[in-house]
C-alpha cells in the first residue's frame, strides 16, 4: 500500500474535490471521525467544513494546516469497505492524527479503488501536531497495515521489475540519451493523449520535447520524430535524438496509433466530467494564473499554458495524473479553450466571480442552518498544477511523478482556494485576537 500526504492552506478545495466524485457517483463517504452527524447521512461541503472550523480558527502559525492523504492498495488487493474504514482509522492513529476530525472518501472512478482522508494537522488549541520523520513513519505504518490486512507488499524489493520509475531528465549530465529513453519508451503504457501537442505537454514535465521532421529520400516523402532535452527555461538544451534510437514505441507511427487508441478510450473516460468541473471551479476561485496552477496541482492535475511572444495564450493542456489522461482545454468544453483564459484573470472579471462566490456560499450556508432545503449542493472544487509562469514547466518539484505503474501521484499541498471561507476565517481569527487584548 502506498500513502501520499499533501498539505494545504484551505480545506474547501480538498473537500470539494472529493465531493465531486461523490456527486458523480464515482465515490462515497465511507466514514467520518469527530464530524457532526447529519439527519440522513448525507453531507455537504458547508456541513463538513463546520467540523474543521474550530481547529482552523484556533490555528495561529501553521501556514498549511490541511491534510489530504491518499491510501492506495495494490490494484490486485480486494479490500472491503469495512477494511478500508479500519485501515484509515489505524493509519491515522499510527501517524498521531487519531484524535483529529477527518473524513474518509472512497474513489472508484479508476480501476484502482483507493481512499482519500481529509483532516487537519493542528489540534483544537491551534497547536501543530508533530510531523518529525513523517515519511518514515508513514512507510512503517503502511508496512504494518499490509501485514495486518494481508495486502500485497509495496516495498521496493517486491515491486515488479518491469514497473518503470520516471523522473525529469538533467541535460547537464552525460547520459541524456538514456534518460530520454527511460521516459519515451514507456510513457505510452501509462498515459492517454490524442495529439503531438498533448504528448509534448506531458513530456515537458520531464524536461523533454518532441518535434516532427519532414523531408525526402530518393524522391519519396519521409517524416519522423526527433527528441530534445530542455533546460530550466524550457529551451532546447541538447542535440536532436532520432526516435529510432529509442525503439519503435517512441516513433511517429507508434504514436499515431496511440493517439487513435487514446481517442477511443477517452471518449468514455468517467474522469472527464470531474476534471472539467474541477477546472471550472479553479477559474472562479483564483485571482491569477499562478494560484490557478497551484490549486490544480494539489489534486494531481498539471496545467501547461502555451503562449506567443506577446504573452497571449494560444493553447492550454491539462494532465490528470489520477486517470492518466491528457486533455486540451477545448476538448473539455468551449468555456475552457485558450481564448477564455486570456481574459480570465483581469481585475474586473475576477471581482465579478468573487462576488458570485460570496453570494453562493451565503445561500448554501443558509440552507445548511435552516434545513429547509435538500442537503445536496454543488461543491466549489479547485484544482491546479504548475507554480510557474512560463509555458513549459521544468525543474519543478516532481515528487508526485514517482512510480507511474499504478501509483497515485504525490501532490504537493499548497493552496486550496475558496475565497469566501478563507476571508471569513481571517476575520474570525482577527476578532478572536482583538477579544483577547481587551
What's the pLDDT tens digit per position in 66-112?
Answer: 999 999 998 889 999 999 999 999 999 999 999 999 999 999 877 78
Within a domain: 28: yes
Within a domain: 201: yes
Statement to judge: residues 180 and 40 lie in one domain: no
pLDDT at position 304? 93
Residue ranges of the chain with pLDDT lower than 70? 155-166, 216-219, 346-438
Rounded-to-integer distance, Cα 101 and Cα 55, Å: 9
Statement to judge: residues 40 and 80 lie in one domain: yes
Within a domain: 37: yes
**Which of these three, 238, 267, 296, is where a domain ends?**
267
Statement to judge: residues 82 and 180 lie in one domain: no
Statement to judge: residues 7 and 151 lie in one domain: yes
Rounded-to-integer distance, Cα 333 and Cα 340, Å: 11
Read off φ and ψ for residue 72, nearest 5 degrees.
Answer: -125, 100
pLDDT at position 421? 45
Within a domain: 353: no
Statement to judge: residues 140 and 210 lie in one domain: no
**Which of these three, 209, 234, 267, is where a domain ends?**
267
pLDDT at position 168? 86
Q: Cα 311 from chain centroid? A: 26
Statement to judge: residues 102 and 181 lie in one domain: no
DSSP states along 50-109: HHHHHHHHH--S-S--EEEEEEE--TT----HHHHHHHHHHHHHHTT-TTS-EEEEEE-S
Within 10 Å of residue 166's Cβ, how many Cβ atoms?
18
pLDDT at position 103? 97
**Which of these three, 225, 250, 267, is where a domain ends?**
267
Within a domain: 434: no
pLDDT at position 242? 92
What kind and span of H or E run contains 15?
Answer: helix 11-23
Within a domain: 381: no
Within a domain: 357: no
Statement to judge: residues 18 and 151 lie in one domain: yes
Statement to judge: residues 150 and 200 lie in one domain: no
- What residues make up the domain containing 210? 176-189+193-267
Rounded-to-integer distance, Cα 186 and Cα 405, Å: 10
pLDDT at position 437? 59
CATH at 45: 3.30.930.30
Statement to judge: residues 135 and 224 lie in one domain: no
Statement to judge: residues 153 and 24 lie in one domain: yes
Rounded-to-integer distance, Cα 4 and Cα 67, Å: 10
Burial class (CB in 10 A: 0-12, 13-18, 19+), 29: middle
Statement to judge: residues 215 and 140 lie in one domain: no
Within a domain: 371: no
DSSP states along 201-242: HHHHTTTEEEEEEEEEETTEEEEEEEEEEB-TTS-B-S--EE
Rounded-to-integer distance, Cα 438 and Cα 435, Å: 5
Q: Which has the closest alpha carbon to 290: 382, 384, 205?
A: 384
C-alpha cell at 258: 496511440
pLDDT at position 371? 34
Statement to judge: residues 20 and 153 lie in one domain: yes
pTM of the predicted structure, to 2 decimals: 0.59
Could you give the number of structural domains in the chain?
2
Amino acid at each position: 500500500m502506498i500513502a501520499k500526504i499533501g498539505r494545504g492552506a484551505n480545506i474547501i478545495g480538498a473537500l470539494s474535490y472529493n465531493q465531486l466524485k461523490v456527486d458523480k457517483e464515482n465515490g462515497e463517504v465511507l466514514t467520518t471521525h469527530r464530524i457532526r452527524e447529519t439527519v440522513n447521512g448525507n453531507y455537504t461541503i458547508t456541513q463538513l467544513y463546520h467540523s474543521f472550523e474550530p481547529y482552523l480558527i484556533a490555528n495561529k502559525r501553521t501556514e498549511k494546516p490541511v491534510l489530504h492523504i491518499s491510501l492506495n492498495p495494490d490494484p490486485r488487493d480486494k479490500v472491503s469497505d469495512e477494511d478500508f474504514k479500519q485501515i484509515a482509522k489505524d493509519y491515522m492513529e499510527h501517524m498521531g492524527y487519531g484524535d483529529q476530525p477527518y473524513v474518509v472518501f472512497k474513489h472508484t472512478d479508476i480501476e484502482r479503488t483507493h481512499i482519500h482522508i481529509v483532516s487537519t494537522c493542528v489540534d483544537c488549541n491551534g497547536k501543530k501536531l508533530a510531523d518529525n520523520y513523517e515519511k518514515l513513519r508513514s512507510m512503517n505504518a503502511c508496512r504494518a497495515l499490509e501485514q495486518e490486512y494481508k495486502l500485497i507488499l509495496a516495498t521496493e524489493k517486491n515491486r515488479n521489475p518491469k514497473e518503470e520509475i520516471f523522473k525529469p531528465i538533467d541535460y547537464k549530465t552525460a547520459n541524456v540519451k538514456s534518460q530520454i529513453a527511460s521516459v519515451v519508451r514507456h510513457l505510452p503504457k501509462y498515459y492517454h493523449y490524442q495529439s503531438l501537442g498533448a504528448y509534448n505537454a506531458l513530456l515537458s514535465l520531464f524536461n523533454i520535447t518532441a518535434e516532427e521532421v519532414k523531408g525526402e529520400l530518393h524522391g519519396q516523402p519521409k517524416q519522423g520524430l526527433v527528441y530534445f532535452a530542455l533546460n530550466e527555461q524550457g529551451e532546447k538544451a541538447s542535440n536532436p535524438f532520432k526516435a529510432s534510437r529509442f525503439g519503435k514505441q517512441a516513433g511517429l507511427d507508434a504514436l499515431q496509433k496511440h493517439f487513435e487508441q487514446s481517442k477511443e478510450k477517452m471518449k468514455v473516460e468517467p474522469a472527464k466530467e470531474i476534471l472539467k468541473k474541477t477546472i471550472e471551479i479553479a477559474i472562479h476561485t483564483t485571482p491569477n494564473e499562478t494560484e490557478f496552477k497551484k490549486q490544480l496541482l494539489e489534486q494531481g492535475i498539471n496545467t501547461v499554458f502555451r503562449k506567443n511572444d506577446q504573452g497571449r495564450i494560444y493553447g492550454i493542456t491539462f494532465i490528470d495524473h489520477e486517470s492518466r489522461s491528457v486533455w486540451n482545454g477545448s476538448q473539455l468544453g468551449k468555456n475552457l479553450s485558450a481564448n477564455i483564459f486570456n481574459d480570465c484573470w483581469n481585475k474586473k472579471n475576477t471581482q465579478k466571480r468573487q462576488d458570485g462566490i460570496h453570494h453562493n456560499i451565503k445561500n448554501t450556508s443558509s440552507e445548511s442552518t435552516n434545513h429547509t432545503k435538500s442537503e445536496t449542493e454543488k461543491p466549489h472544487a479547485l484544482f491546479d498544477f504548475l507554480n510557474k509562469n512560463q509555458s513549459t514547466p521544468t525543474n519543478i518539484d516532481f515528487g508526485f511523478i514517482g512510480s507511474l505503474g499504478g501509483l497515485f501521484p504525490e501532490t504537493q499541498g499548497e493552496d486550496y482556494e475558496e475565497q469566501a471561507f478563507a476571508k471569513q476565517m481571517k476575520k474570525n481569527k482577527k476578532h478572536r485576537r482583538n477579544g483577547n487584548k481587551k
